[in-house]
């Protein structure tokens, strides 16, 4: 970045030096994190809005590092994406998520699927669809129990390639959902041509759904549109009981948020399944 001449050096401040030092440190620690077993998946239930029963769990990655402590994904996924490490980390996530969902079925008898976040670079990696296929084969998990969450931004980026990958994944029988729906520069036409099953309404809309009439109108409109296209809807970021009444009235299929449960380590998540919904 500093190669384009003097002016670039002139803009290089001490703070930037610190930032890049922190980045370099994080990058080198991240390179070893997989083999040292420092990544962990937490699981957050996605429930049927009407019954409160869990149908899926979203897998959310955490990084336990002796130097950095517990690192949340917003702090390291962007760097993993930039450096390309997301491909191997993402492969681990998919394998681990499928193994976990198999365990819930075998150890607990729970009929609960798993949803995995897929970042753009991982999605475009030539080996991606094969990674998904292999994880299903190795774990024996039924493909319909694996859901892949893809952001709207990715979908709008690169149409021909994207369409081909989505078709392949749909062919395997995995579920496909649009994550953070409503936050992109939505060109809704993609919903018609791509094989999505579910829209996840971004939590920013759910947050003020009881106080802001704009937000409640938007949520209502998204649910109606999704249903008329044959798609399911998940409301993200449900924190209060009153929000669940609104979502029940509007017939939002599924809900996720702190009201039901925070993301939990696997053993705590299985306890949550056992003792039942709240």
Residues that bind ligand C2E (CB under 6 A): 44, 60-61, 72-74, 77, 90, 93, 117, 119, 179-180, 203, 237-239, 256-258, 263
Judged by CB, which is closer to ligand C2E: 11, or 153? 153
| Smallest separation (angstroms) from ligand C2E to the CB of 180 | 6
Q: Report if residue 170 touches Ca ion, rule: CB under 5 A.
A: yes
Q: Which does 219 bind (CB under 5 to 8 A by kind): ligand C2E, Ca ion, none?
A: none
| Residues whose CB falls within 8 Å of the CB of residue 6, separated by 6 or more in sequence, listed in order | none
User: Following DSSP, what letter does each residue of 59-110 receive, concatenated?
Assistant: EEEEEEETTTEEE-HHHHHHHHHHHTTHHHHHHHHHHHHHHHHHHHHHHH--
| Smallest separation (angstroms) from Ca ion to the CB of 173 | 7
- Residue given tokens 């696997």 in the structure block: 266
| Smallest separation (angstroms) from ligand C2E to the CB of 83 | 13
Two tokens, residue 215: 């937000």
Q: Which does 170 bind (CB under 5 to 8 A by kind): ligand C2E, Ca ion, none?
A: Ca ion
Judged by CB, which is closer to ligand C2E: 17, or 265? 265
Query: Given candidates 149, 152, 253, 266, which one binds Ca ion under the rule CB under 5 A?
Result: 149
Nearest to 247 by CA among 235, 232, 262: 235
- Residues facing 146 on adjacent strands: 114
- Whole-angstrom distance, CA of residue 151 vs CA of residue 117: 9
Q: Report if residue 180 touches Ca ion, rule: CB under 5 A.
A: yes
Residue nearest to ligand C2E (CB): 257
User: Which DSSP letter does residue 125 get?
Assistant: S
H or E, element range at 201: strand 198-201
Judged by CB, which is closer to ligand C2E: 169, or 193? 169
Judged by CB, which is closer to ligand C2E: 6, or 255? 255
- Whole-angstrom distance, CA of residue 175 vs CA of residue 271: 26
Query: Given candidates 87, 117, 119, 162, which one binds Ca ion under the rule CB under 5 A?
Result: 117
Two tokens, residue 241: 């009981």
> Applying CB under 5 A, what is the total number of residues that bind Ca ion?
7
Judged by CB, which is closer to ligand C2E: 21, or 247? 247
Judged by CB, which is closer to ligand C2E: 33, or 61? 61
The packing angle between helices 86-108 and 128-139, to 10°, is 20
How buried is residue 48: exposed, middle or buried, by Cβ count under 10 Å (0-12/13-18/19+)? middle
| Smallest separation (angstroms) from ligand C2E to the CB of 168 | 19
Judged by CB, which is closer to ligand C2E: 113, or 263? 263
Q: Which residues bind Ca ion (CB under 5 A)?
A: 117, 149, 170, 179-180, 195, 197
């Amino acid at each position: 970045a500093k190669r384009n001449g003097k002016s670039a050096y002139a803009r290089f401040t001490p703070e930037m030096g610190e930032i890049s030092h922190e980045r370099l440190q994080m990058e080198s620690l991240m390179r070893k994190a997989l083999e040292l077993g420092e990544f962990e998946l937490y699981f957050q239930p996605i429930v049927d809005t009407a019954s409160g029963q869990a149908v899926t769990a979203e897998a959310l990655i955490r990084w336990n590092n002796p130097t950095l402590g517990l690192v949340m994904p917003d702090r390291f996924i962007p760097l993993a994406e930039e450096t390309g490490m997301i491909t191997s980390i993402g492969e681990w996530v998919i394998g681990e998520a499928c193994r976990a969902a198999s365990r819930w079925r075998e150890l607990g008898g729970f009929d609960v699927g798993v949803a995995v976040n897929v970042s753009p670079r991982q999605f475009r990696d030539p080996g991606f669809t094969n990674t998904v296929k292999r994880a299903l084969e190795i774990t024996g998990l039924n493909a319909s129990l694996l859901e892949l969450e893809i952001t709207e931004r990715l979908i709008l980026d690169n149409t021909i390639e994207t369409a081909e990958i989505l078709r392949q994944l749909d062919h395997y029988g995995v579920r496909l959902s649009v994550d953070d729906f409503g936050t992109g520069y939505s060109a809704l036409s993609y919903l018609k041509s791509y094989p999505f099953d579910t829209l996840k309404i971004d939590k920013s809309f759910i947050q003020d759904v009881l106080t802001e009439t704009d937000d409640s109108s938007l949520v209502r409109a998204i649910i109606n549109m999704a249903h008329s296209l044959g798609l399911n809807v998940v409301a993200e970021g449900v924190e209060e009981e009153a929000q669940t009444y609104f979502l029940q009235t509007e017939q939002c299929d599924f809900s996720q948020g702190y009201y039901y449960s925070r993301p939990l380590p696997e053993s705590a998540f299985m306890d949550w399944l056992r003792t039942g919904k709240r």
